[in-house]
């Protein structure tokens, strides 16, 4: 079979062979070099020719099939199934549309993660920050029901997930699994909308804004954000978090990812180093990588980020509640971090994602509260506390950075897209509705936290080590045994209709088997049902309540 794939240039562009191979095939097919019907070599043959492992080739073929470029005909071979004539006006010479380094980084980032082998349907990945594509129905094998928008902290790419779960075929699961007809229990914050939400009040406020705005269009909110909202946020931070903040240094954004990405762009040149918690939030990794920054993994222990004499310009940290471990950064550590920042002229970006939910103990001041010389940026979001699709977050910036940050925002959006919601939220906060809502939600979540924590500890404590935490919306648990056991357990639980967020993707380099159980959106019955199913799977696999056999 005459067959040649121009792989070389792609190997130079992409960091991963899989990514390169995928891109080379996609471009060759879209570019018409492999027309409809072309037969491709077997994964073994291709692997041999190009010096790639068969697994790598298989993964790439699999993705191209999932995307409809290829079809595998049983007993015959793999064929191109892409017709250019089906793409009106798009006979592409893709080689002629080279992306900038920035664009290629985004591409590499996404492809690489989509191609990464995944034992489980919905771990947290860069691609997870992208709800996209048609929404499949929930199924027993862990396809993400993307029926509701997902907050930054755990967002799932339905397509990728479907592909992943397809790999996790139910036929490979033994009889212990529940019939997938049974309602799925999702410890993944995917149903954030289930959280108690003051719908009538919120609706009234939005109605009022819609009415006012259609009767006499409101003034454009400045890119920095609707001032009354900035004032309300400043008031809230002063009262609830003890932060000495004025509206002038508050900038409203469309969710915290926008703030993190713009800050990385604004403060990092290609090659500049940025310290990231390890494990940490993958979205921050993406922001740094896209900006061309070089991630410096920062060790995390029970007191949060371990401060070291890094050579870096920027550090991203979650001091009030480390993501995902939940550790609270100790005061000495905080002081050491600020000391380091001052000595190195570095900026500290504090990502405060869910520490407002305290279940016990005294509230924890943000690191920003200790910031005396204006090097800490405090980033918060309403996605967690309000509706998930309310794309409103904020950054509290050192005065020096306010103007540059607003300018960065303005380059893309002269005035905010969520104008109505900004005004409604300002009203909601000014009227005290937001604080009432937070208190109500807090009480409910604390009950669920206690119930689930105790139950999980008692029933699954032999399999998982729960990392103690007094706050937040998820419980972080380390698998006590080896990864193989964890992956088996997770796969079979998914088969039994129990899914959770795999924490392995949050690690740079070697990842320990660990899980995030988001509990806040589930009621007590669901929490119990979930734990029971896990218990059944555990015993069916021979782990049951006892030490995992691998130990």
Nearer to a second copy, 183 or 407 (CB): 407
Output the smallest distance, CB 13 to a second copy, in A: 13
Output the smallest distance, CB 98 to a second copy, in A: 7
Residue position matching structure tokens 């939910």: 357
Output the smallest distance, CB 257 to a second copy, in A: 6
Nearer to a second copy, 411 or 484 (CB): 411
- Long-range contacts: 134-141, Cβ < 8 Å, 24+? 134/158, 136/162, 138/184, 139/165, 139/180, 139/184, 140/170, 140/177, 140/178, 140/179, 140/180, 140/181, 140/182, 140/184, 140/495, 140/496, 140/497, 141/165, 141/168, 141/169, 141/170, 141/180, 141/494, 141/495
Nearer to a second copy, 6 or 417 (CB): 417
- How far apart CA 78 and CA 71 sit, in angstroms, is 6
- How far apart CA 325 and CA 328 sit, in angstroms, is 9
User: Are residues 281 and 381 in contact, defined by beta-carbon separation less than 8 angstroms?
Assistant: no
Nearer to a second copy, 3 or 102 (CB): 102
User: Are residues 72 and 65 in contact, defined by beta-carbon separation less than 8 angstroms?
Assistant: yes
Nearer to a second copy, 120 or 224 (CB): 224
Among 389, 393, 426, which Cα is nearest to 212's?
426
Output the smallest distance, CB 195 to a second copy, in A: 10
Instruction: Tell me the C-alpha to C-alpha distance, in Å, between residue 171 and each of 59, 165, 174.
Output: 20, 12, 8
Output the smallest distance, CB 339 to a second copy, in A: 13
Nearer to a second copy, 173 or 347 (CB): 347
Q: What share of the chain is helix, strand, coil (3-state, %, to 5)?
A: 45, 15, 40
Here the tokens at position 91 are: 């006979």
Nearer to a second copy, 254 or 355 (CB): 254
Nearer to a second copy, 111 or 355 (CB): 111
- Who contacts 71 (Cβ-Cβ below 8 Å, separation ≥6)? 65, 78, 79, 81
Output the smallest distance, CB 448 to a second copy, in A: 20
Output the smallest distance, CB 276 to a second copy, in A: 16
Output the smallest distance, CB 203 to a second copy, in A: 4
């Amino acid at each position: 079979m005459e067959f040649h794939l121009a792989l070389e240039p792609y190997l130079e562009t992409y960091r991963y062979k899989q990514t390169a191979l995928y891109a080379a095939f996609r471009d060759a097919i879209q570019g018409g070099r492999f027309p409809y019907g072309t037969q491709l070599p077997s994964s073994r043959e291709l692997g041999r020719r190009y010096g790639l492992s068969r697994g790598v080739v298989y993964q790439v073929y699999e993705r191209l099939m999932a995307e409809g470029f290829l079809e595998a005909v049983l007993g015959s071979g793999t064929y191109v199934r892409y017709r250019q004539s089906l793409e009106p006006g798009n006979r592409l010479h893709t080689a002629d549309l080279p992306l900038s380094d920035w664009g290629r980084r985004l591409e590499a980032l996404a492809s690489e993660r989509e191609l990464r082998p995944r034992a489980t349907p919905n771990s947290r990945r860069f691609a997870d920050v992208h709800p996209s594509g048609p929404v499949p129905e929930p199924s027993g094998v862990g396809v993400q029901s993307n029926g509701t928008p997902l907050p930054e902290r755990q967002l799932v790419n339905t397509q990728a997930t479907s592909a992943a779960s397809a790999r996790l075929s139910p036929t490979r699961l033994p009889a212990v699994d529940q019939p997938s007809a049974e309602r799925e229990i999702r410890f993944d914050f995917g149903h954030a909308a289930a959280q108690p939400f003051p719908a009538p009040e919120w609706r009234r406020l939005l109605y009022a804004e819609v009415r006012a705005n259609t009767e006499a269009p409101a003034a454009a909110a400045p890119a920095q954000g609707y001032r009354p909202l900035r004032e309300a946020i400043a008031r809230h931070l002063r009262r609830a978090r003890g932060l000495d903040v004025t509206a002038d240094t508050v900038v409203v954004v469309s969710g915290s990812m926008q703030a993190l990405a713009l800050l990385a762009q604004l403060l990092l040149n290609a090659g500049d180093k940025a310290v990231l918690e390890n494990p940490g939030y993958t979205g921050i990794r993406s922001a740094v990588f896209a900006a061309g920054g070089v991630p410096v993994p920062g060790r995390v222990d029970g007191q949060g980020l371990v401060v070291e004499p890094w050579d870096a310009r920027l550090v991203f940290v979650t001091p009030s509640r480390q993501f995902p471990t939940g550790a609270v950064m100790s005061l000495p550590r905080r002081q050491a971090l600020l000391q380091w920042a001052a000595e190195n002229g570095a900026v500290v970006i504090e990502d405060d994602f869910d520490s407002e939910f305290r279940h016990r103990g005294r509230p924890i001041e943000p690191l920003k509260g200790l910031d005396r010389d204006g090097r800490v940026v405090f980033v918060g979001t309403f996605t967690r506390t309000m509706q998930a699709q309310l794309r409103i977050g904020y950054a509290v910036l050192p005065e020096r950075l306010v103007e540059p940050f607003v300018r960065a925002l303005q380059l893309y959006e002269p005035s905010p897209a969520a104008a109505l919601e900004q005004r409604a939220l300002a009203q909601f906060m000014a009227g005290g509705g937001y604080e009432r809502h937070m208190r109500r939600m807090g009480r409910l979540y604390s009950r669920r936290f206690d119930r689930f924590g105790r139950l999980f500890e008692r029933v699954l404590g032999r399999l998982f080590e729960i990392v103690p935490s007094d706050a937040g919306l998820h419980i972080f648990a380390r698998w006590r045994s080896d990864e193989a056991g964890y992956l088996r357990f997770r796969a079979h639980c998914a088969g039994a209709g129990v899914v959770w967020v795999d924490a392995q993707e949050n690690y740079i380099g070697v990842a320990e088997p660990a899980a995030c159980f988001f509990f806040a959106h589930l009621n007590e019955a669901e929490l119990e049902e979930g734990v029971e199913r896990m218990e059944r799977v555990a015993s069916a696999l021979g782990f049951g309540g006892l030490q995992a056999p691998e130990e």
